[in-house]
Chain A
Amino acid sequence: MKKIATGNKAVAEAVKQAVPGVVAAYPITPQTEVVEQVAEFVSSGELKSRYIAVESEHSAMAACIGASITGTRTFTATSSHGLLYMHEMTNWAAGARLPIVMANINRSLGPGWNIWAEHTDALQERDTGWLQVYVSTVQEAYDATLMAFRIAEHNDVLLPVMVNLDGFLLSHIMQPLDTIDISDFIPPCHLPHAIDVKNPAGYGGLTGPDQQFRFRWDIERSMRDSVKVIAETEREFARRFGRKYGFTEDYLCSDADVIIIAMGTLGKEAEVAVDLLRREGIKAGSMRLRWLRPFPNLNLKGKQVVVIDRDYSFGRGGILATEIMAQTKEDVFSVIAGLGGQEVTYEDIAEFVRKRRIGTEFWFGVTNHV
């Protein structure tokens, strides 16, 4: 069914169709519309879930953990400080191998109070054992949320999945949304280690070094296995519903001399910049990174690479640029742009490409060494 929706509403639509048994959430700008919409679906009876209006994000994730270990499908949504406040529990969720799905509406971190888009919030969760996908359109927000449940609950994965949407730039903009009849696309949740009072077990108690080490390795093994599950799920989604996704979304990359890599809405904006640059005779391409964890194998051999980070690791560099350089062993032109919701247009992106200096870092709007 075709309609017009915001990114937030698209996520809520997907949640309604996935029918989690428990949703526990705490409001924060710009995520509020997701939880308001889900709460409305629950109160109108359109969604048969228990909605727990918890008193904090720490409790939101703890409640999802408590619900999930019974074998129930669970969902929450947050943003920025909310995500950081639940950091202890995001680690717990992954370590406990619980397939919780969370929408995170990417937002800057204080101080000062800044409610606009930035990826540093989710990237501070990079090492927790969550799968992370970054979307760029309302349609993709809906599709990725649906797929997140199937991927997380797949018994070769059993890790939580975070779906990331840029605050306001995607959470609050209206775009066409084609909702689908998902039928049996998401199989019933089956948690092999769910609590069973008839077969009592201890969960997460004292664990010695050797066992703990093995549990950590198990997380990594499942993270590696998730590559196959993600690919299968996205292939199946394309086959059944006609929309194709991958670890990256490549636009005119094959013959390109220079490739722009970014996540979220910046990655979509980069496609417009590519068109502009191609008209000028610069053979540019765009590779929008969708999955940050597991991190895909990128083939950038013989290409010049411009990475745009809407995030930063102080004392090190743009997080995406650092990841890409570590994985591909290629030097890049690292652009830091869009922090705190700074406006970045396709013309700005084209200018980054025109004036690229591989091996350097450039803070858009701050330094003038371009």
Chain B
Amino acid sequence: MDTIPEIPKEEYILKCTSACAGCSDSLSLRYVLKAAGQDTVLVVPACCTSVIQGIYPNTAFKVPVYNIAFGAAAACASGMSNAFRAAGKKTNVIVYAGDGGTLDIGIQAMSGAFERGTDFLYICYDNEAYGNTGMQRSSGTPLGARTTTTPTGKTDAKKDIDAIIAAHNPPYMATACAAYPQDIFKKVTKALSFRGPTFIHILAPCPPGWRYSTEKSVEMGKLAVKTGMWVLYEREYGKLTIGAQSKAAMKKPLPLEDYLAPQGRFKGIDPKTVEILKQRITRNYARLAAEEAAP
């Protein structure tokens, strides 16, 4: 049932960017651009991707990139998309923003753009903290994770941005994970086939932020899915389908400790907090499975 997509050889990100070793933001973006192709403009608010492009007058990206202020990406894309459509152009307008720029400072502009039915794709690559500024907590940081502003572990839960997006009833939304690039490719291709606002939320493991060694980004992403900390799904016109990888994993999820132990950010996490996380995994999946089963 799961087909392997034909992924173009064309690269839109040049080699040797200024990304950290093991960066899964750029890994994800590589496949996003392969799916989107040349007729694409990226709108990027302040985030790791602002840095990864390189320093003026050079750029490592082979599509136009419009950098914009932290809270303004969706609004900027909204103007751009309208201008392109008014000129009869089908150019893909893709926001590529981090969790801070999406869940925190950019949420108002994003909500507005979704409510107005803007014809664009909004991708949030989520490394669960403000990576560019040195790993401060964002509302995407999970409960119990240490960041530079939660030195003893975050006491609040991760914001459920997907539920907030779902409340805007976009024609298409999905979760994805940097460890599954073919899945990213397929979902971006699909998202761009819709008219109107679409959303993809990519979990992007981050070696310096999550404090694991740089070769383990793909492994971390897979562990997130296999433990149920991250569930892959799509919602098309409100109809939810859980991804095959998550379905298979959740038949017998790996113990959450397998995901937490290799990450320095969870070092010394309180066992009670681990229990809360485990309960949330169970409830979250049960909620999604029930939604999928509903007519």
Contact = CB atoms under 8 A, between A and B. Distances in A.
A and B interact physically: yes
Contacts of A64: 79
B161 interface: no
Contact of B65 (A66, A71, A205): A205
A48 to B, nearest CB: 8
Contacts of A65: 68, 72, 76, 79
A204 B67 contact: yes
Interface string A273-305: 000000000000000000000000000000000
Chain A, interface residues (CB within 8 Å), range = 35 or more
B167 to A, nearest CB: 15
A55 B109 contact: yes
B135 interface: no
Interface string A183-227: 000000000000111101111111110010000000000000000
A203 B84 CA distance: 17
Contacts of B41: 195, 197
Contacts of B72: 58-59, 62, 65, 88-89, 92
B171 to A, nearest CB: 19
A103 B223 CA distance: 54
A204 B76 CA distance: 13
A58 B59 contact: no
B280 interface: no
Contacts of A56: 75, 108-109, 112
A74 B79 contact: yes
- Pick from A66, A69, A71, A202 the residue with the most CB of B within 10 Å: A66
A88 B105 CA distance: 13
Contacts of B59: 200-202, 205
Interface stretch (B46-54, B195-203, B262-270): B46-54
B65 A50 contact: no
B66 A69 contact: yes
B63 interface: yes
B65 A55 contact: no
B62 interface: yes
Nearest to B37: A197
A102 to B, nearest CB: 14
A260 interface: no
Contacts of B86: 21-22, 49-50, 72
A63 B55 contact: no
B75 A58 contact: yes
A133 interface: no
Contacts of A202: 53-54, 56, 59, 61, 64-65, 67
Interface of B: 38-41, 43, 50-51, 53-57, 59, 61-69, 71-72, 74-87, 91, 108-109, 111-112, 115-116
Interface of A: 21-22, 24, 49-50, 52-56, 58-60, 62-72, 74, 88-89, 92, 195-198, 200-208, 211
5 contacts: A24-B78, A60-B75, A195-B64, A197-B91, A206-B53
